Structure 1
Amino acid sequence: MTDLTFNDGRTMPRLGLGTWKLPDGQAAAVVRRALDVGYRLIDTAAIYGNERGVGDGAQGSEAFVTTKLWNNRQGDPAAALDESLALLGLDAVDLYLMHWPVPSAGRYVDAWKAMVDLRDAGKARSIGVSNFLPEHLDAIIEATGVTPVLNQIELHPRYQRREERAYHEAHGIVTQSWSPLGQGGDLLRDPGIVAVAQKHGRSAAQVVIAWHLAHGFSVIPKAADPEHMSDNFAALDLTLGEDDVAAIDALERGERMGEDALAM
């Protein structure tokens, strides 16, 4: 698996395991299963309520662990991160993200300044954001001179975020896709996706993940089921042709499935 290089010089696996809605009591077993399959990136968040289980599952491994600062803790990121580290059983997290900008609260710039301090103190090896739009990124970069290494956003073939991706590329920010397979399975039944899958003799999920990887994104599909987990991971050895990527690019609909950053 080829790693992605951050603008701070550190690296991160391209493909990881998302743990949203994964119960804490199941998280340890699922994470251990993922590590056995070959995953090295595990994504969690304080609001998921499963950091303890994720930490138990990753204990003793070389997993790259991401967690996130929730909205109501932007006033005290240091305490929030200490709580997350205690649950995870770690001295430092590999990547700490601000989960949402929450512009209406007016605290995200100061929260970013605090996260820079946490990085400098060694409690977060790299820092980034999630669900930020270009104007939010402009504000924190201008205030601190520190550019996030990554922005984790909803991104899938029906919601391709081309404006945000262009901004990321111009500023050396990794784009990471959440809900990369859409939600509810409808995307995986799209005739355009199915045609590419049949062409390569692969699953629709593998084709969509391979599309994300072909564009240089990091991607974190959720999968607790062992078969789905292994199937997703097998996308790493699928190379799509330019025509395949173009066919999937043509599926853009502006179809948001999750929350809207501007509404938070």
Structure 2
Amino acid sequence: MLDENRERAQLAEMIWITGRAAHSGYDGEMNFDVESFSGLPVIGGGDVCGPDGCGPAEGAGTAGSTGTAESTGDADFAHPAIELSDGTSIPQLGFGTWRLTERDDDALAAALETGYRHIDTATVYKNEEMVGRVLGSSGLDGVYITTKIHPTDEREPAEVMAASLEALQVERVNMWLLHNTSDRNVDIWRAMIEEQEKGHTASIGVSNLSIAEIDELIDATGVAPVMNQFRLGLSLHDPEFVAALRERGIAPEGYSPLRATNLDDPHIIDVAQNLDVDPADVVIAWHMAKGYIVIPKSATASRIRSNAYASRLTLSEQHIAQLDRMERTA
């Protein structure tokens, strides 16, 4: 198991860095043949995850099956994806931009080059223009964009949305979240529904709201958020809260997964040593295995890459059960 996971990690890094994941693997310099690793599993190519678990999208291979990068044809991290209750899908792995500034173009560019296809920003991050600039110059189409409206913003929600669209250089975003709770929740939520009806956002959701606050929105408008983004890690895992969200058709999304986890916990250390990976890699892999959308953030290119590769790490049922025992230790 140690050697297999070490080889799989090396395989992933080599093929992703050289940008040859969907090709033969030979670049004229490394003499690297993907087919020589045909016995190693490639996880996540083309998967779509719904309330009942994850499975292959149409035309894709089975998640967790044995294959090669060439056989999946998956050259980025747009998959696996989570199917939301409104019929749209969101890449399960995202790139968080909290604390990235207008000068952090290189970090976002590195994320896109690595293969992230889901970018999370917000008006209060004050980096939407940077995100729009880097996305615009990337030449990429179909990158999933999430932004947020904060309740302390004194502008009308329609003005906030217009400013976000202009900064991001798009006609609509994929997801618009109510960033935090306040006594204006229902009023802002009504305005967000209107912006969705105008076609300015494909989906609407919330961030950092309790079940009671979410139910208030549903009772007042008849419209449920499709996602709740909140701080989630192995040390803050609340299965009852997650179950309540899923009962309402709301997908859980975790931010600050590494900050919300005690990386020195013996449960993580044991699994990491068993798989010959870093504890941080185990955290990302656990989120993926649990079907949680996860948006790790880093400004360091090497960590940006390793977070992405960790999303394809295989955890056994025994590993997951062992990690679940860490619940709410922080």
Aligned residue number for residue 83 of structure 1: 163
Aligned residue number for residue 250 of structure 1: 325
Aligned residue number for residue 17 of structure 2: none
Amino acid aligned to 1:224: A
Tell me the distance in 1 between the aligned counterparts of 2:131 and 2:243.
Answer: 33
Aligned partner of 1:144 among 221, 234, 237? 221
Question: How many Å apart are 1:75 and its aligned residue?
Answer: 6.4
Aligned residue number for residue 222 of structure 1: 297
Aligned residue number for residue 49 of structure 1: 126
Aligned residue number for residue 145 of structure 2: 65
Q: What is the TM-score normalised by the length of structure 2?
A: 0.73
Question: How many Å apart are 1:58 and its aligned residue?
Answer: 1.4
Aligned residue number for residue 86 of structure 2: 8
Give the greater-gyration-radius structure (CA).
Answer: 2
Contact 1:140 1:146 in 2 (8 A): yes
1:202 aligns with 2:282: no
Contact 2:174 2:202 in 1 (8 A): yes
Contact 2:238 2:328 in 1 (8 A): no
Aligned residue number for residue 101 of structure 1: 181
Show structure 1 runs of 4+ deviating over 3 A.
Answer: none
Question: How many Å apart are 1:18 and its aligned residue?
Answer: 0.6
Aligned partner of 1:167 among 244, 261, 264? 244
Aligned residue number for residue 25 of structure 2: none
SS in 2 for 1:101: coil
Tell me the distance in 2 between the aligned counterparts of 1:251 and 1:37.
Answer: 31
SS in 1 for 2:258: coil
Question: How many Å apart are 1:85 and its aligned residue?
Answer: 1.3
Higher relative contact order (CA 8 A, sep 6+): 1
Aligned residue number for residue 262 of structure 1: none
Question: How many Å apart are 1:254 and its aligned residue?
Answer: 5.3
SS in 2 for 1:66: strand
Q: What is the TM-score normalised by the length of structure 1?
A: 0.90
Contact 1:30 1:57 in 2 (8 A): no
Question: How many Å apart are 1:247 and its aligned residue?
Answer: 1.4
Amino acid aligned to 2:246: E
Question: How many Å apart are 1:16 and its aligned residue?
Answer: 0.7
Structure 1, unmatched stretches of 5+, are 256-264
SS in 2 for 1:72: coil
Question: How many Å apart are 1:74 and its aligned residue?
Answer: 6.8
Cα deviation digits, residues 126-180 of structure 1 (max 9, x gap): 1100001000110111111111110001111111122320111101111000111
RMSD: 1.4
Count of residue pairs the alignment pairs up: 249
Structure 2, unmatched stretches of 5+, are 1-78
Contact 2:254 2:293 in 1 (8 A): yes
Contact 2:81 2:92 in 1 (8 A): yes
1:24 aligns with 2:102: yes
Contact 1:180 1:221 in 2 (8 A): yes
Amino acid aligned to 1:238: L
